[in-house]
């Protein structure tokens, strides 16, 4: 299991799916901000790819995020849109509302960088986030990501268009090290 200072990334377990559904995807506002389309309910027992992992999908690697102390489920993390030719991918994460503000986001981004650059041999990682998502932007910047652009009014969220910010990080700019960036 890839680990940071506070969290580890592991495979999705069946017993965590109801927690993720209730905490992340049944919350209309949260899901609307995180997804690229309109909110829709997830039927219990469905094979929705946001919850159930297809181990054959090579361009999408979903993880469950757990606290290192106690192994409590705190959210999800994903390396998606993996492009083997250009050696690039996108990072995504979602933390349960009770687990936000504890530094987990910065640690998750650090562990995903290690996974992407060291384990997968990628050259570039990118994040797309809403411009008002200060926590995600801070987590990205603390891990060396640079704001490369803004997509103006590109996300339709709950009745309004919002800007998206595009932070990127190249492997040669990545500096693994102390304070959440050392991964074992």
Domains in the chain, number: 1
Residue bearing tokens 């990545």? 174
Whether the per-residue pLDDT at 148 is higher than 70: the answer is yes
Q: Are strands 7-10 and 60-67 parallel, antiparallel or unpaired?
A: antiparallel
Confidence of residue 178 (pLDDT cuts 50, 70, 90): low
Q: Is residue 136 part of a domain?
A: yes
Domain range for 123: 7-173
At residue 165, the pLDDT reads: 98
Query: What are the tens digits of pLDDT across the range 31-75?
Result: 777 777 777 777 777 777 667 777 777 788 999 999 999 999 999
Q: Is residue 24 part of a domain?
A: yes
Query: What are the tens digits of pLDDT across the range 87-114?
Result: 999 999 999 999 999 999 999 999 999 9
| Residue 175, both tokens | 């500096």
C-alpha–C-alpha distance, residues 143 and 173, integer Å: 10
Task: Taking residues 171-179, report their average pLDDT.
Answer: 81
57-75: b (≥16 Cβ within 10 Å) or e: eeebbbbbbbbeeeeebbb
C-alpha–C-alpha distance, residues 122 and 87, integer Å: 5
Q: Is residue 42 part of a domain?
A: yes
Q: Is residue 158 part of a domain?
A: yes
Q: Is residue 182 part of a domain?
A: no
The DSSP result for 162-174, as a single string, is EEEEEEEEEGGG-
Q: Is residue 178 part of a domain?
A: no
Whether the per-residue pLDDT at 157 is higher than 60: the answer is yes
Q: What is the CATH number of the domain that holds 144?
A: 3.40.630.30
Q: Is residue 19 part of a domain?
A: yes
Q: Is residue 39 part of a domain?
A: yes
């Amino acid at each position: 299991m890839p680990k940071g200072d506070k969290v580890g990334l592991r495979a999705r377990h069946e017993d965590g799916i109801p927690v993720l559904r209730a905490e992340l995807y049944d919350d209309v506002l949260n899901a609307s901000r995180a997804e690229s389309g309109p909110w829709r309910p997830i039927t219990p027992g469905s094979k929705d790819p946001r919850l159930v992992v297809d181990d054959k999908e090579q361009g999408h690697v979903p993880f469950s995020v757990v606290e290192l102390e106690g192994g409590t489920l705190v959210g999800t993390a994903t390396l998606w849109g993996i492009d083997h030719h250009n050696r690039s991918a996108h990072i995504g994460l979602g933390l349960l509302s009770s687990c936000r503000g504890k530094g987990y986001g910065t640690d998750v981004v650090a562990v995903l960088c290690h996974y992407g650059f060291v384990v997968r041999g990628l050259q570039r990682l990118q994040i797309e986030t809403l411009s008002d998502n200060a926590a995600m932007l801070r987590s990205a910047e603390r891990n060396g990501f640079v704001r490369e652009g803004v997509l103006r009014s590109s996300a339709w969220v709950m009745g309004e268009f919002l800007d998206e910010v595009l932070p990127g990080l190249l492997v040669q700019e990545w500096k693994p090290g102390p304070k959440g960036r050392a991964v074992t």
